[in-house]
């Protein structure tokens, strides 16, 4: 096997924080007088503070002309004079609008100044867009950590020269877990309150033998995992292959404008989706899965390559490390107790990395059909 390329730092996956659904980030009131009636114009905002095209007109006061009984000619003159008076009263208020606009621009600027590490909700304020862009530029200038990404377990801090740097996160600063589903189990059979607590702890052990060996094993609290028997190990790739194929078909069916798949990927999956011989998703016996793989072998070639490409990200070098496998392993282990042993057997040369040919071979793909160009 070729030598392993140097690893690159993993990108930090930051949480996204939105304001409460009933919060309003920007609101302004305009009122004018027309024909003796005071109108209050209130632009509305949606649940995330974005201004919408809908607005509400309210009237205040009483239209005192409604019950007057005067000749039609006189009513017309009175109506005309009152309209002139109404517009005259409204004119000073229109002149005051620029001041109100400035107040709203200041409000948008204040909202844009969010704490480091959060994703601010973009507020579409129409005529105030220019002010919002200027405020965002100021935030970047004042917070060098805003676009400085750190890997799991580290956070950005500024040194004495105001230069961003990544330091280990204090585990006590991690958010308190909401429930059992947030807990994770390490490979030394220790339960952590969340993945944040685990990676922060692992960071503090950097440079030590214990830290090098410590890995996140699976999602959920630690529990007894039954040993994987040889007979069970042979069944695992049958279910896994079928699952990968069904995942791709589902993404294709749902991918109208969501860009879940690239155009090249869609062309590949389209052939699988339209094939009448395709085995529909379901809880099938392993005997049926084995027969389908033999009869419709070509349907499984691309899904196996596609999953390899989804995992090979940090860095993209044609090898899967333990860390790159984690997004697939961690959710599977509690449900498929042969997961760990399966991936261990895939690493034929025991160098702790799984190459494309090792990966494809594990799923029964023939050597002549292994093609790095299918990893798209």
Token representation of residue 218: 């699976």
Token representation of residue 125: 């304020």
Tens-digit pLDDT profile for residues 158-168: 998 889 999 99
CATH architecture under which domain 230-374 falls: Orthogonal Bundle (1.10)
Domain ranges across the chain: 30-142, 169-219, 230-374
Please state, as a whole number, how many other Cβ atoms lie within 10 Å of the Cβ of residue 159: 9
CATH number of 169-219: 3.30.60.30
Alpha helices (H) along 143-229: 195-204, 209-213
Instruction: Identify which of 271, 334, 332 has the alpha carbon closest to the alpha carbon of residue 307.
Output: 332
169-219 and 230-374: identical CATH topology? no
d(CA 339, CA 345): 10
Tell whether the model's pLDDT for residue 60 goes beyond 60: no
Tens-digit pLDDT profile for residues 12-23: 333 333 333 333
Q: What is the pLDDT of residue 141?
A: 55
Backbone phi and psi for residue 282, each to the nearest 5 degrees, phi listed first? 170, 175
Q: What is the pLDDT of residue 100?
A: 41
Report helix, strand or coil for 27: coil
Kind of pairing between the strands at 216-219 and 319-320 = unpaired
Q: What is the mean pLDDT of the segment spanning 286-302?
A: 97
**156 Cβ neighbours under 8 A, 6+ residues apart:** 116, 117, 145, 148, 149, 150, 164, 165, 166, 167
Tens-digit pLDDT profile for residues 217-234: 999 999 999 999 999 999
Sheet with strand 184-186: strands edge to edge: 191-192, 184-186, 216-219
- State CA 307 to chain mean position distance: 19
> Lowest-pLDDT range, 134-148, 195-209, 258-272, 342-356?
134-148
Q: What is the pLDDT of residue 354?
A: 98
Tell whether the model's pLDDT for residue 115 goes beyond 90: no
d(CA 155, CA 145): 9
Q: Between 260 and 103, whose confidence is greater?
A: 260
DSSP 207: T
């Amino acid at each position: 096997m070729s030598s392993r390329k140097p690893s690159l730092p993993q990108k930090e996956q930051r949480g996204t924080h939105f304001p409460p659904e009933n919060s309003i980030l920007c609101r302004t009131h305009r009122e004018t007088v027309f024909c003796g009636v005071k109108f209050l114009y209130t632009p509305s905002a949606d649940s995330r503070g974005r201004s919408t095209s809908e607005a509400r007109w309210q009237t205040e006061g009483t239209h005192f002309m409604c019950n007057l009984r005067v000749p039609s000619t006189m009513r017309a003159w009175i109506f005309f004079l009152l309209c002139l008076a109404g517009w005259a009263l409204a004119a000073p208020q229109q002149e005051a609008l620029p001041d109100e606009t400035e107040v709203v621009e200041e409000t948008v600027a204040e909202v844009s100044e969010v704490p480091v590490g959060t994703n601010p909700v973009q507020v579409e304020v129409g005529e105030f867009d220019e002010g919002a862009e200027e405020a965002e530029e100021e935030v970047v200038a004042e917070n060098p950590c805003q676009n400085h990404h750190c890997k799991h377990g580290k956070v950005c801090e500024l040194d004495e020269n105001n230069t961003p740097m990544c330091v280990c996160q204090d585990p006590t600063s991690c958010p308190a877990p909401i429930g059992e589903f947030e807990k994770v189990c390490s490979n030394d059979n220790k339960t952590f309150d969340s993945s944040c607590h685990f990676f922060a702890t692992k960071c503090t052990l950097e440079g030590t033998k214990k830290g090098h060996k410590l890995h996140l094993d699976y999602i959920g609290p630690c529990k007894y995992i039954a040993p994987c028997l040889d007979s069970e190990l042979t069944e695992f790739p049958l279910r896994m292959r079928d699952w990968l194929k069904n995942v791709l078909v589902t993404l294709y069916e749902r991918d109208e404008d969501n860009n879940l798949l690239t155009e090249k990927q869609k062309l590949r999956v389209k052939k699988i989706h339209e094939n009448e011989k395709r085995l529909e998703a379901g809880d099938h016996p392993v005997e049926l899965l084995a027969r389908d793989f033999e009869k419709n072998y070509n349907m499984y070639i691309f899904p196996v390559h596609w999953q390899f490409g989804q995992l090979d990200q940090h860095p993209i070098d044609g090898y899967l490390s333990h860390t790159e496998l984690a997004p697939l392993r961690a959710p599977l282990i509690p449900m498929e107790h042969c997961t760990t042993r399966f991936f261990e057997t895939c690493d034929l040369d025991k160098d702790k990395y799984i190459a494309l040919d090792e990966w494809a071979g594990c799923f029964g793909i023939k050597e002549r059909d292994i093609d790095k160009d299918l990893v798209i």
